[in-house]
């Protein structure tokens, strides 16, 4: 037994028109939406030409600002370099000035030294230990010493004799105060220092202190030789803290 469904065929025959209608409806909605969007922009004061002009002006301003920024960065680098150069120059000038001040002080000391020889007062007459200095040597425990002796008398004779240097300090192991003779710490070994001069004499040398010994002062003793005055001259110098 066969069936004929006429209703289904009618629906199938009408379906293309329905799809066309839906398509037209969607297009109409899109066009309407676009129109509403454009109308909204128009009501809001949107102008395509004006917007393009504003955009160009903004891009030009941005380019100007970027150029100004690059210029300022370059000026900043130039100023930093100039300040660095000036700072280095100032440091060099200051270093040179300090060197000149030290040299001037040294010249003043030498001037007083020679002035004391040429025109001595009564207190400076005779054999004198004018100066004794100690500076750090090249080694860990080595030191460089310099002794300056002067003599001003009415006669034209010479001063002769021996000089003894004792370094006094404390042993860190025992805590006992010791005196080290120059003959045991000089480099190279020197048994005895001799002086022989008319007006002044510089005596220099190297010493090396033993490990665990902290120096506190130096004791200098001059023993004149020959005939005449046999009075010993003794003077004590504190060991420099910086040394």
* pLDDT 10s digits, 78-102: 999 999 999 999 999 999 989 889 8
- For the residues 226-239, what does the mean pLDDT come to? 82
Q: Is the pLDDT of residue 139 over 80?
A: yes
pLDDT of residue 37: 64
Tokens of 127: 């054999």
| SS3 category, 78 | helix
Mean pLDDT for 133-138 is 90
The secondary structure of the chain in percent helix, strand, coil, rounded to multiples of 5, reads 50, 30, 20
Q: How confident is the model over 211-224, as a mean pLDDT? A: 93
Mean of pLDDT values over 105-129:
73
116 pLDDT band, cuts 50/70/90, is low
141 contact partners, CB below 8 Å, separation of at least 6: 208, 209, 210, 211
> Quick one: pLDDT band at residue 125, thresholds 50, 70, 90?
low
Could you tell me if 165 and 217 are in contact, meaning their C-beta atoms sit under 8 angstroms apart? no
**pLDDT, mean of residues 50-68:** 82
> Is the pTM above the cut of 0.95?
no
Per the model's pLDDT, the better-predicted residue between 124 and 69 turns out to be: 69
| The pLDDT of residue 203 is above 90 | yes
How many whole angstroms separate alpha carbon 164 and alpha carbon 220?
6
Mean pLDDT to the nearest integer, 216-224: 94
Confidence of residue 122 (pLDDT cuts 50, 70, 90): low
């Amino acid at each position: 037994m066969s069936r004929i469904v006429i209703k289904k065929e009618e629906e199938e025959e009408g379906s293309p028109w329905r799809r066309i209608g839906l398509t037209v409806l969607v297009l109409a909605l899109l066009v309407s939406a676009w129109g509403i969007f454009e109308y909204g922009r128009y009501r809001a004061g949107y102008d395509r030409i004006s917007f393009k002009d504003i955009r160009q002006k903004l891009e030009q301003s941005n380019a100007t600002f970027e150029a100004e920024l690059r210029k300022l960065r370059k000026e900043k680098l130039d100023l930093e370099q100039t300040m660095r150069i000036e700072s280095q120059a100032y440091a060099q000038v200051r270093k040179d000035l300090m060197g000149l001040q030290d040299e001037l002080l040294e010249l003043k000391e030498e001037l007083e030294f020679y002035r004391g020889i040429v025109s001595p007062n009564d207190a400076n007459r005779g054999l004198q230990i004018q100066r004794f200095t100690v500076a750090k040597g090249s080694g860990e425990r080595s030191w460089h010493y310099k002794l300056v002796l002067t003599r001003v008398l009415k006669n034209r004779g010479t001063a002769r004799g021996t000089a003894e240097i004792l370094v006094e300090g404390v042993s860190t192991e025992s805590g006992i105060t010791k005196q080290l003779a120059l003959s045991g710490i000089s480099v190279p070994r020197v048994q005895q220092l001799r002086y022989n001069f008319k007006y002044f004499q510089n005596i220099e040398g190297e010493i090396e202190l033993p490990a665990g010994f902290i120096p506190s002062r130096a004791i200098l003793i001059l023993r004149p030789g020959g005939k005449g005055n046999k009075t010993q001259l003794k003077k004590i110098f504190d060991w420099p803290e910086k040394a």
